[in-house]
C-alpha cells in the first residue's frame, strides 16, 4: 500500500506544492485547508487525483481538529506535515509599537496549532510504516542566526523548534505502541516565492524547488541519517539552533 501524508495549510504556497508532489508520487494525500471552496488549485488537484482528499481544517480551531481526528481514528498517517503558518505582518511586530494581538495570532497558528495536531494525530503516525512528524520551521527561528525584525514570527519558530525537540526526546521513552519509533523533523523550506512575505527584494526559490527539497529531507530522516529532532534546511544541510 502506498504511504499517506497529511498536510496542513495545503491551499496554496509550499503546502499546496507538497500536496501536488506527493500526489504525483502516488501517495495518499490528506490535504487540509481552512476554506476548501476557495482552494481552487487544490480542488483541481483532487479532481485529477483520486488519491487526494481535501479536509477542512483551521489549525486554531481545536474543536474542528478534534472532529477530524475522530473521523481518522485508526487510519495510518506515515507523514504528518505541520506546514500552515503566518508571518503576522511586519508593521505589527516592531518594538515600541508591538501589537500583542498579532503575537497571539502568530503563536496560535505557528506553535499551538502544530502541537495540538501532534497530540491528536500521534497514534495515526504511530501505527503507520514511516512514522514521521515533520514541521515546516524557518531558519529565522535559529537563535544563533538572529537578525532584526519580525520579532513574533521568529520567536514562534524558535518556540516550535523547542517544543518539537522536547517531544523528540520524550518519545524515546514512550510506552505506547509505535510511539518510540516516531521521528520528528524541523525543516527550513528556503526563502520561497509565495504569498507569505509579499514582494521583497531578496533572492527567492520557487515552491516547486522548495517542496522537492523538503520531501528529499523528509526521506533522509527515514534512512536514519538524520536524527529525530534535527533542524534541517531543505538543501539537506543541518542548521544551528
Is 14 an interacting residue with respect to ligand NAP (CB under 6 A)?
Answer: yes
> Does 11 help bind ligand NAP (rule: CB under 6 A)?
yes
Nearer Cβ to ligand NAP (3/85) = 85
User: Is residue 196 within the footprint of ligand NAP (CB under 6 A)?
Assistant: yes
Q: Tell me how far apart the alpha carbons of residues 14 and 208 are, in angstroms, rounded to a whole number.
A: 8
Give, in degrees to the nearest 5, the angle at Cα 131 between 127 and 132: 145
CB closer to ligand NAP, 53 vs 127 = 53
In the numeric block, the cell 509505535 is attached to: 178
Which of 146, 139, 130 has the alpha carbon at shortest distance from 178? 130
CB of 90 to ligand NAP, least distance (A): 13
DSSP character at residue 51: T
Should residue 93 be labelled a site residue for ligand NAP when binding is judged by CB under 6 A? no
Q: Does 9 bind ligand NAP (CB under 6 A)?
A: yes
Contacts with 200 (C-beta within 8 Å, 6 or more apart), sequence order: none
Which stretches does DSSP call E strand in the chain?
Answer: 4-7, 28-33, 52-56, 79-82, 132-136, 183-188, 231-233
Ramachandran quadrant class, 123 (left: phi over 0; alpha: psi -120 to 50; beta: rest): alpha
Region near ligand NAP per CB under 6 A, out of 79-87, 90-98, 117-125, 214-222:
79-87
Cell numbers describing residue 71: 473521523
Asked if 97 interacts with ligand NAP (CB under 6 A), we say no
Cβ 61 vs Cβ 76: under 8 Å:
no
* Stretch of 55-63, 69-77, 164-172, 214-222 contacting ligand NAP, by CB under 6 A: 55-63
Residue 194 engages ligand NAP in binding (rule: CB under 6 A): yes
**Is position 15 an interface residue for ligand NAP (rule: CB under 6 A)?**
yes
The answer to whether residue 21 forms part of the interface with ligand NAP (CB under 6 A) is no
Contacting residues for 202 by C-beta, under 8 A, at least 6 apart: 191
Of 4, 5, 7, 8, the one binding ligand NAP by CB under 6 A: 8
Q: What is the DSSP string of 217-236?
A: HHHHHHHTSSPTT-EEETTS
Site pattern 116..155 for ligand NAP (x: CB under 6 A): --------------------x-x-----------------
* Least distance in angstroms from the C-beta of 164 to ligand NAP: 13
Cβ neighbors of 201 (< 8 A, separation 6 or more) are none
Q: Is 237 in the site for ligand NAP (CB under 6 A)?
A: no
Number of amino acids touching ligand NAP (CB under 6 A): 28
Binding site for ligand NAP (CB under 6 A): 8-9, 11-15, 33-35, 58-60, 83-86, 109, 136, 138, 188-189, 191-192, 194-197
Amino acid at each position: 500500500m502506498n504511504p499517506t501524508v497529511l498536510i496542513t495549510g495545503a491551499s496554496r504556497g509550499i503546502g499546496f506544492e507538497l500536496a501536488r508532489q506527493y500526489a504525483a508520487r502516488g501517495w495518499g494525500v490528506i490535504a487540509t485547508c481552512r476554506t476548501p471552496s476557495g482552494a481552487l488549485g487544490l480542488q483541481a488537484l483532487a479532481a485529477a487525483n483520486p488519491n487526494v482528499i481535501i479536509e477542512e481544517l483551521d489549525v486554531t480551531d481545536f474543536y474542528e481538529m478534534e472532529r477530524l481526528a475522530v473521523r481518522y481514528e485508526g487510519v495510518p498517517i506515515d507523514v504528518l506535515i505541520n506546514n500552515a503558518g503566518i508571518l503576522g505582518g511586519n508593521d505589527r511586530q516592531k518594538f515600541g509599537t508591538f501589537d500583542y494581538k498579532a503575537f497571539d495570532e502568530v503563536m496560535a497558528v505557528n506553535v499551538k496549532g502544530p502541537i495540538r495536531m501532534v497530540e491528536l494525530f500521534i497514534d495515526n503516525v504511530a501505527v503507520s510504516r514511516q512514522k514521521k512528524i515533520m514541521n515546516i520551521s524557518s531558519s529565522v527561528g535559529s537563535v544563533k542566526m538572529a537578525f532584526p525584525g519580525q520579532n513574533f514570527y521568529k520567536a514562534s519558530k524558535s518556540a516550535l523548534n523547542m517544543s518539537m525537540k522536547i517531544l523528540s526526546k520524550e518519545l524515546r521513552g514512550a510506552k505506547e505502541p509505535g510511539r518510540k519509533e516516531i521521528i520528528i523533523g524541523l525543516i527550513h523550506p528556503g526563502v520561497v516565492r509565495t504569498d507569505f512575505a509579499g514582494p521583497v527584494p531578496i533572492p527567492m526559490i520557487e515552491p516547486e524547488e522548495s517542496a522537492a527539497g523538503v520531501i528529499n529531507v523528509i526521506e533522509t530522516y527515514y534512512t536514519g541519517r538524520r536524527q529525530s529532532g534535527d533542524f534541517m534546511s531543505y538543501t539537506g544541510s543541518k542548521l544551528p539552533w
